[in-house]
Structure 1
Amino acid sequence: MTVVTEYAVRNDTGAAPLSMIERMTLILDAFDGRSARLTLAEVASRARLPRSTVHRILESLVKLNWVEHASFGYRLGRRALGIGGGDGGHAGVREAAAPVLHELHLQTRMVVHLSVLDGHEAVYLDKIGGPLASSVPSRVGGRVPAHSTAGGKAMLAWLAPEGVDALFGGGMNGCTDQAISDLGALHQELNRIRQRRGLAFERGESARGVACVGAGIRGQDGPVAGLSLCGDARTAPLERVAPLVVEAAREITRTLFPELGRGWN
């Protein structure tokens, strides 16, 4: 049996021991969605830290409102949920999307993301993925260049071209070398997404080995959020699940904007 010691974790290269901030980050990253509810053992397993260390840090995070502790275990607290946008204008989107996200995950067993645009970045509002979630390096409140993700590109496709120019005219930094790095190429990709009625794909652009399909949730004035399904780039059946993503985005749109939902296409 392998015993995990506090300073042996994720330190195979001989680097300095994990700092307190690094350990706190590993623990918060264990919660892969706003609705995640984990026991102490589950947090320790996902963070790959000793149980005693996790318990001590969790108790401090609870006192500071980063984490909440209830009878079922632990979940993200109000301070953690407020990072990357807080509830400012997004609470209604999360509420409308929550049951749809869960159903989409149950149908596909893939990782589901809900995100919003903040400048040239996409901010994750929710993530549901079960055991597969740890294989996709994203977290609630996390930020990623919007042009590197399917959900982000699906939102960008419904901006005016001059709006895209304003966001990326100063340069484009992608997550991997597979990401689009040229503004002209980005416009071509967004035009293809519009021709597919808003359906966006990405393979290895947001993370190596990960592929996603996404669609935008649109209001009268433009994109409100992005919805995406992610999985292993080698096996993810993106084309097969794409209609489910489109229908999920339509359902959320109908909930948020009843007057627009019928004409969504």
Structure 2
Amino acid sequence: MDKKLPQTPVESDAEASPSGLLERTLAVLELLAVHAHGLPLYEVADHLRIPRSATHRILNSLVEHGYVRQERQLGAYLLTAKLTSLAFTFLAASGITDFAQPILDRLAHQSGELVRLAMIDGRELIWVAKSQGSPFGLRYDPDMGQVGRLSCSASGHAWLSCLPEEEAIALVETQGYGARRDFGPRAPETRTALLKYLRVARKRGFAVTVQTYTPWMNACAAPVRSIATGEVTGTVVIAGPNVRLTEARMLELGSLLMEAARELSMAVSASPGLSARRESDRSSFFAGPGEA
């Protein structure tokens, strides 16, 4: 189910309200992305604090270009699959899925669980590829293309553990801590609690989380690095139900996980669409030549 929209004040807030057509359009897309069942026009407008007339024009334009559809006249607006199609077209063109998929498939088969690859884009981790290793029974298989919450995901911990602690905390505080009521019952909600996780992950070489991201689900993740610079460019994660993927089981899988991470590091470096990435540009896995 969609998460309940927070209450917003009636009066305008110049700092919170997006301004400019592009910024408003992106804000609409990002809002609809987290509401899979769609939102009516007035909720989009009120949540983003955009005039309803302007919201209507933006939504109409997005409908005309195929990025949004309306269920029925005066009904909710929903995202179409066009953005997803663009994203996967890019990934296919970059070559990363061709190089990474066999490695993910092997690790999924070895572990019997879901394996996912997340790549760093600026200050975020985005899941871009996966392989399901559980042929039956309980399966954990969330949507692709989501942005991971750094404070409580194994992928986030694997990345943050490779950064100076102050830089790691700054990234988390920019995104916000994942509250236990919204994520898992053991999600770290404070700087002190998070640093305990990161220090253990740093010492071990990979992160292990137990019901921090989703109730009854566990995960372990290792960093994927650029061969040229040593910078972390992404993470590989094994995730599954806690009744099967126990903490002891995750520790057993650690060597296979880290070996897959090393192979993925080489695969990323060999990816033809990404090989031209400038060494000086470490802000994004997706940045190509000349991009910021």
Residue from 174, 183, 195 that aligns with 1:187: 195
SS of the aligned residue for 2:233 comes to strand
Quickly say closer, same or farther: Cα 1:102–1:138, change in 2 above 3 A: same
Q: Secondary structure at the match of 1:230?
A: strand
1:233 aligns to 2:242 (yes or no): yes
**Structure 2: distance between partners of 1:205 and 1:234:** 15
Question: Which SS does the other structure have where 1:159 is aligned?
Answer: coil
Q: Which residue matches 1:127?
A: 130
Change (3 A) 1:82 1:202: farther
Q: Does 1:172 align with 2:177?
A: yes
Q: Structure 1 residues 232, 88: closer, same or farther in 2, change over 3 A?
A: closer
CA 1:163–1:187 in 2, change beyond 3 Å: closer, same or farther? same
1:212 equivalent to 2:219? Answer yes
Secondary structure of residue in 2 paired with 1:122: strand
2:275 alignment counterpart: none
Distance 1:106-1:222 versus aligned 2 partners, 3 A rule: same
Which residue identity is paired with 1:230?
A
Say if 2:257 is the partner of 1:245: yes
Determine if contact 1:127/1:139 at 8 Å carries over to the other structure: no
Match in the other structure for 2:276 = none
State the AA in 1 paired with 2:160. L
Does 2:117 correspond to 1:114? Answer: yes
Unaligned 5+ runs, structure 1 = 1-9, 11-20, 27-62, 67-75, 259-265
- Counterpart residue identity of residue 177, structure 1: P
| Coordinate RMSD, CA, aligned | 3.6
Amino acid at match of 2:259: E
| Deviation per residue, 1:102-129 (Å, 9 max, x gap) | 1111222210111123466432111221
Cα distance change on mapping 1:105 and 1:89 into 2, 3 Å = closer
Normalised to the residue count of structure 1, the TM-score between the two structures is: 0.61
Alpha-carbon displacement from aligned partner over 1:208-242 (angstroms, at most 9, x marks no partner): 11111110101225211110111110221212222
**What is the identity, as a one-letter code, of the residue corresponding to 1:161?**
E
Measure, in 1, the Cα distance between the counterparts of 2:224 and 2:137: 23
Pairing 1:49-60 to 2, within 5 Å after superposition: none
Residue identity matched to 1:242: G
Measure, in 1, the Cα distance between the counterparts of 2:138 and 2:89.
23
Question: Which structure is larger by alpha-carbon Rg, 1 or 2?
Answer: 2
C-alpha change, 1:235 and 1:216, in structure 2 (3 Å) is same
Name the CA shift for 1:136/1:223 in 2 (closer, same or farther; >3 Å).
same
> What is the 5 A alignment of 1:22-101?
25=36, 79-82=83-86, 87=90, 91-101=94-104
Q: Give the gaps of 5 or more residues in structure 2.
A: 2-31, 38-64, 69-79, 271-292
Offset of residue 87 of structure 1: 3.4
Percent pairwise identity: 20
Q: Which amino acid aligns with 1:215?
A: A
In the alignment, is the contact (CA less than 8 A) between 1:137 and 1:207 conserved in 2? Answer: no
Q: State TM-score, norm by structure 2.
A: 0.56
